[in-house]
Amino acid sequence: MDVLNLQKRLAEVETKLNLSNLKTEQESLKIQSVDPNLWQNQNKASLIMQDLSDVTKTINQLEQFKSEIDNLIEINSLLLAKPDDNMQKELDRNLNKINDELEQLENQTYLSGKYDKNFAIFSIHSGQGGTEAMDWASILQRMYLRYFDKKGWKYEMLDMVMGDEAGIKSVSFKVSAPYAYGYLCREGGVHRLVRLSPFNANQLRQTSFAKVEVSPVIKGNDELAPIKPEEVEFTAYRAGGHGGQNVNKVSTAVRITHITTGLVFSCQSQRSQEQNREVAMEMLASKLWALEQEKRASEQKDIKGANIIAGWGHQIRSYVLHPYKMVKDLRTRYETSLTDSILDGDLDGFIFAELRLL
């Protein structure tokens, strides 16, 4: 690992992220954050404070990298004049550490889409394959939750429908981390599993499918037509999970139906009916945004928009556990035989390959 190469890469990241503009943006956000009238609009205030936190974090990272790399350049100069094995090992450790951290920031430069900074609504739905598919959906759920944990991302389950015999039919999460949507959006699509069936006495090889859907959490005035009250049917019911003393005693869980599209969303993660309703409306807004993007993409390609079926011929990634071990993304051609590691949430290789494909 060459310390001068790290210095060059840092300079390229500073250029791409435009450090000067970031500092100007930081000052502007600081001025807005101390405006005494700001908190009269809670939604706007939270967005400004989140933006200020994100910009400040990026600036601090860049400045810390510069300081650490300058220090390593000095150590490298000393080693060139007087070699020392222990000092060289320490230098190599620090170079590898900074290389890994800088790579994370380099990947952030690929996230320039309007909603890439947003939180994400992340859902998994079982597809073709019956009980096998529902079990596969639960395996995917564990894989992604492990990934969120490894990244240190905050998340909460919004709704879950259990499988008839095993696994899950569907589950939805809100992932509350900066750039969550940017990193996760390309995970959306059909995921295919090939394995020996644990539900078959003859242990026959079975292929199962599950679909991942990802949309940004839409906040504020994000170029979406407001959802009119008459467009939504609202139903309250008793929650079936954690929720405090009132759970199963009062109707805190919420189900909303968007009359125009037929979309249905449920939420029972919050303690009050109003909070669950707000989250369900948030899910609806995110899905409506995603549908609008699909419509625009279909028009650009001059094709008829259609819902992708979680089945044969539509998969973006295959996870083969038998007769050999291999996980392969069909878009990037990135692959690995370390299937246990992938199913344990080590997804950065796939996600970074997808980012760099753009």
Summarised one tens digit per residue, pLDDT across range 228-260 is: 888 899 888 876 654 444 444 456 888 999 998
Does residue 313 carry a pLDDT above 50?
yes
Does residue 97 carry a pLDDT above 50?
yes
pLDDT for 274 equals 86
Does residue 332 carry a pLDDT above 90?
yes
Beta-carbon-side half-sphere exposure of residue 261 (alpha carbons within 13 Å): 15
3-108 is classed CATH 3.40.50.300: no
CB 135 within 8 A of CB 198: yes
Does residue 301 carry a pLDDT above 60?
no
DSSP assignment of 175-207: EESTTHHHHHGGG-EEEEEEEE-TT-TT--EEE
Numbered ranges of CATH 3.30.160.20 in the chain: 229-301
Average the pLDDT over each of 132-136, 211-215, 223-227 and give the range with the smallest value: 223-227
Does residue 319 carry a pLDDT above 90?
yes
pLDDT for 247 equals 42
- Rounded CA separation 56/79 (Å): 35
pLDDT for 240 equals 61
Query: Under CATH, which number does the domain 229-301 receive?
Result: 3.30.160.20
pLDDT for 314 equals 73
Q: In the predicted model, what is the mean pLDDT of residues 3-11? A: 93
Q: For residue 343, name the pLDDT band (cuts at 50, 70, 90).
A: very high
Numbered ranges of CATH 3.30.70.1660 in the chain: 120-221+310-357
**What 3-state class would DSSP assign to 221?**
coil
How many angstroms separate the Cα of 129 from the Cα of each of 162, 172, 212, 351? 15, 20, 16, 26
For tokens 């539900």, the residue is: 199
pLDDT for 174 equals 93
How many angstroms separate the Cα of 57 from the Cα of each of 60, 120, 181, 192, 318? 5, 20, 18, 37, 36
Global pTM value: 0.76
pLDDT for 305 equals 38
Does residue 112 carry a pLDDT above 90?
no
CB 280 within 8 A of CB 267: yes
pLDDT for 303 equals 38
How many angstroms separate the Cα of 42 from the Cα of each of 28, 33, 315? 19, 12, 41
Q: In the predicted model, what is the mean pLDDT of residues 58-81? A: 94
Determine phi and psi for 124, rounding to 5 degrees.
-125, 135
Q: In the predicted model, what is the mean pLDDT of residues 63-87? A: 94
Q: For residue 28, name the pLDDT band (cuts at 50, 70, 90).
A: very high
Average the pLDDT over each of 7-11, 186-190, 243-247, 267-271 and give the range with the smallest value: 243-247
Fold that domain 120-221+310-357 belongs to in CATH: Alpha-Beta Plaits (3.30.70)
Q: Are strands 232-237 and 253-258 parallel, antiparallel or unpaired?
A: antiparallel
Q: In the predicted model, what is the mean pLDDT of residues 17-22? A: 91
- Rounded CA separation 305/301 (Å): 10
pLDDT for 77 equals 93
For tokens 């999460």, the residue is: 173
Q: For residue 312, name the pLDDT band (cuts at 50, 70, 90).
A: low
Q: In the predicted model, what is the mean pLDDT of residues 196-223? A: 82
Numbered ranges of CATH 1.20.58.410 in the chain: 3-108
